[in-house]
Structure 1
Amino acid sequence: MSENKIAAVSRTEFGKGAARRTRRAGLVPAVLYGHGTDPVHLSLPGHELLLALRVANAVLELSVDGGKDQLALAKQVQRNPVKGNIEHLDLVIVRKGEKVTVEVPLVVVGDHASDGVIVMDQQTIALLVEATHIPADIEIDVTGLEVGSTVTAADLKLPSGAVFPGEPGDLILSVSAAPSQAALDAELAGEAGEAAAEESEEAGEA
């Protein structure tokens, strides 16, 4: 879990123009909701928020207008596609002991058979976990796995209290045979042929 103390200020101006002014001031517009409360529009310090959201599923300890601290889970983060800075954030109120469903990154560790390649069926896994005990990632140890081996949800080592809500047999990854050089050459030749055919068609149409 990543938990960070951040001072938030409530916003009274809305719309695109107000959001742009907020960002120019080095702040990030955000919305806080959950537990039956009315949505609260906030401004959060951009630099502190960027540091806090370096990990997935960050839990923030917010103090709104200097009031009582409350925990909030970063639910939806909108980033600038070019600069990467945060443009807007949706936050969900959480409480200690409460369980939430989050997407946790999967990380492959260990060395598998040298003649195989890892094929990931999914890059993250949905877990039901306590809001204040969200793992940063789930490691998949592929040490010694041979070609043809598979890893399912049932094979994952989940932290205490974490539950996978899907089927135990859901495929996570498999080890496939590495393509031969001949196969790679044939694929490249095929792509080159397709490109040449497209160029020929375009020239004919011209």
Structure 2
Amino acid sequence: MAHDEIRIESETRTQFGKGAARKLRRADKIPAVLYGHGEAPVHLALPFHSTFQALKNPNALLTIAVEGEADQLALAKDVQRDPIKPVIEHVDLVIVKRGEKVTVEVPVHLEGEAAPETVVTVDAQTLEIEADVTNLPDNLIVSVEGLAIGTMIHASDVEMPAGATLVSDPELLVVNITQQISADELEAELADAEAEAGIEHDAPEEEAAEAPEGDEESSDKE
């Protein structure tokens, strides 16, 4: 299903560089730039909380309220995140217009349970589609309910939402259903891999069946 538009109030900014960006982030704001459709780039500061929540969906349609200007519809083209902290460091926003089609990557979401003793592998986490900018889906649903061993789902097999078309290679493997490996087979594969890598394990120590020599000598003397 498509998501609703999210309105974000922004402030224009005139200071740039790492120092200015750090100052903004300390004030719970995110540096951003808005551009596209022949418009001159506008440098903005976005409120951290509402922007962070909105960008949990990478294709969220944003209504950016710019000081002294008309609202702009935009998509997040590039989101730079801190590799460790839950912090957005910078956002590139591209202006879009109602009625235009855009190409975006949409996550693949699995539903259902495959047949018993199978392993479901998702080979393509996202698919590229073209759709109306006001009707971008949150995800693409792929049902694996009851699918048997050997089943392969390609991009062309994935049902597209109304008005959307597939851009990814139709032959791209999305989901692969394989035989679940047994514990014995897993152990054998591990042993083969260790042998190829030259890994040797020490034999387990055997418990001594006989008493120590000192005890034998003492018993002889008794």
Output the TM-score relative to the length of structure 1: 0.89
5+ unaligned residues in a row in structure 1: which ranges? 198-206
Counterpart mapping for 1:43-192 below 5 A: 43-190=45-192
Structure with bigger strand share is 1
CA distance in structure 2 between the aligned counterparts of 1:169 and 1:80, rounded to whole angstroms: 35
Q: Which runs of 5+ in 2 are unaligned?
A: 201-222
TM-score (norm 2): 0.83
Tell me, what secondary structure is at the counterpart of 2:10? Answer: strand
* Post-superposition CA distance 1:132-168 (Å, at most 9, x none): 1110001100112100111112221111110102343
- 1:29 and 1:177, CA in 2 relative to 1: closer, same or farther beyond 3 A? same
- Separation (CA, whole Å) in 2 of partners of 1:66 and 1:157: 43
> Which has more radius of gyration?
2
Q: C-alpha displacement at 1:195, in angstroms?
A: 8.4
- Residues 195, 98 of structure 1: CA spacing in aligned structure 2 closer, same or farther, 3 A cutoff? farther
Counterpart contact for 1:7–1:66, Cα < 8 Å: no
Number of residue pairs matched by the alignment: 197
CA distance in 1, matches of 2:198, 2:105: 39
Asked whether the equivalents of residues 12 and 41 of structure 1 are also in contact (C-alpha less than 8 Å), the reply is yes
Q: Offset of 1:116 from its aligned partner?
A: 1.2
Q: RMSD in angstroms over aligned alpha carbons?
A: 1.7
User: Secondary structure in 2 aligned to 1:184?
Assistant: helix
CA spacing shift, 1:195–1:72, aligned 2, 3 Å: farther
Do 1:107 and 1:137's aligned partners in 2 also have CA atoms closer than 8 Å? yes
